[in-house]
Structure 1
Amino acid sequence: MSGTDVLVVCENAALTFGRGATAVVAVHGADLSIRPGDRLAIVGPSGSGKSSLLHLLAGLERPTSGTVSWPGLDPSAGIGLVFQADSLVPALDVAENTALPLVLAGRPEAQTRRPVADALDLVGASDLADRLPEEISGGQAQRVAVARVLAQQPRLILADEPTGRLDHATGARVLDALLTAADRTGAALVVTTHDPAIAARLTVRRAMHDGRLLAQEDVS
């Protein structure tokens, strides 16, 4: 496998917030490579550094030391990120929210309809297309946020606790959609979670503890 087959590489990547006595090390020297088709769960409790590591992988944060590189993709276009918090635009309906990244990327409206419809169908939200965010539940909003990422068909999907606020059945459906979309496109999927049942459905698990990424557990 050549270097360009690796989507993203962390080499001794660390992330510190603040300086001096008040500095907080969110990630300590992480080493990690993500390749097409990978299915990785990063497991750990709240505050263990999972979200910070995901932000490094997405390019949302720059490492304080070490490096993060993307030899196999353009991080501005090839990464889809499912956030933990609410992220829908209140003034746009569900279909418009799902299409938003495609519109911002310059795709004509006529070319957004099919990927938006397919993504909403995949997460079981087709019947919500005309509703505003204030008219749907939190679980439904999270499914729409996942659909918005899937419509982009990214090569790397980063999902930060995507099922954390959902009931078991809805959470399972969201993960089903992420896995199905990744399988269809060959994308890599990285999911942070504190739920062992969610982690067990991905091929590889890495635990985080106090900002440290621990050794790989291959469960294939």
Structure 2
Amino acid sequence: MAPDDVLVECRDAALTFGRGAHAVVAVHGATLTVRAGQRLAIVGPSGSGKSSLLHLLAGLERPTGGTVTWPASAGPRDIGLVFQSESLIPALDVVENTALPLVLSGVPEERARRAALDALALVAADDLAERLPEEISGGQAGRVAAARVLAQAPRLILADEPTGRLDRTTAGRVLDALLTAAERTGAALVVTTHDPAVAARLGARRAMRDGRLLVAEEAS
């Protein structure tokens, strides 16, 4: 692919928390390129550095060594994020939660609501539109999170262990929703996971161990 297809690129990117004797290196010199339309699983056990690497890709953390750049996009503004932890606002119903990023970016409320309802329908969650977060299951919340990303139409979707706390059937539905969101928007999709079944549904795979991103051939 051409250089202008590169959405985010890490070159020897490192992330260290703390200093001196108490310093903890979360990511050791990772080099990774994510291109338009790519499907990538970053696999590894808990504590291997997967989430820290995703935070670097998203611009949520600044590298303490090396570089992270977004050559063919507007940077983190073109990125949709899906986290494992609960991210829905309890006081807002599902459609309001889905529309919120658009409203915060300046989209008129009615237009944002229509986009949110369309996105919810695409992941088969439009029947949840008027429910509060406490009234839906974990799997349903995962589909809503995917719809929120879909409504934003990002160029890159980063999902951090989105199925980690779900049973196999529910996890499959959430991953279906993320893949639908990526397909509909034309976005690249990067998913961190420790589940081989999830990784198998993505096109490419890289492994992390002890904060080090391994070459693709070592990811199995």
Instruction: Flag whether TM exceeds 0.5 (same fold).
Output: yes
Indicate the structure with greater helix content: 2
Q: Using structure 1 for the length normalisation, give the TM-score.
A: 0.95
Tell me the equivalent position of 1:57. Answer: 57
CA distance in 1, matches of 2:185, 2:163: 22
* Alpha-carbon distance in 1 for matches of 2:156, 2:186: 9
Report the residue type matching 1:178 in the other structure: L
Rounded Cα–Cα distance in structure 2 between residues aligned with 1:127 and 1:148 = 15
Output the CA distance in 2 between the equivalents of 1:47 and 1:62.
Answer: 19
RMSD: 1.6
Q: CA deviation at 1:2?
A: 3.6
Equivalents in 1 of 2:75, 2:10: separation in Å? Answer: 14
Please, which runs of 5 or more residues in structure 1 have no aligned partner? none
User: 1:95-131: per-residue Cα shift (whole Å, max 9, x none)?
Assistant: 0000000000110122223321222123322111111
1:15-94 to 2 correspondences below 5 Å: 15-94=15-94
The code of the aligned residue for 1:206 comes to: R
Deviates more, 1:10-19 or 1:107-116: 107-116
CA distance in 2, matches of 1:46, 1:123: 28
- CA 1:130/1:218 → structure 2, altered by over 3 Å: closer, same or farther? farther
In structure 1, the residue matched to 2:3 is 3
CA contact (8 A) 2:157 2:187 kept: yes
Instruction: Check the 8 A contact 1:7/1:34 in 2, yes or no.
Output: yes
User: Is the counterpart of residue 177 in structure 1 residue 177 in structure 2?
Assistant: yes
Give 4+ residue runs of structure 1 displaced > 6 Å after superposition.
Answer: none
1:1-220 matches, within 5 Å, as: 1-217=1-217
Code of the residue aligned with 2:134 in structure 1: it is E
Task: Give the fraction of aligned pairs with identical amino acids, expressed as a percent.
Answer: 76
Matched positions, count: 219
Question: What's the TM-score once normalised by structure 2's chain length?
Answer: 0.95
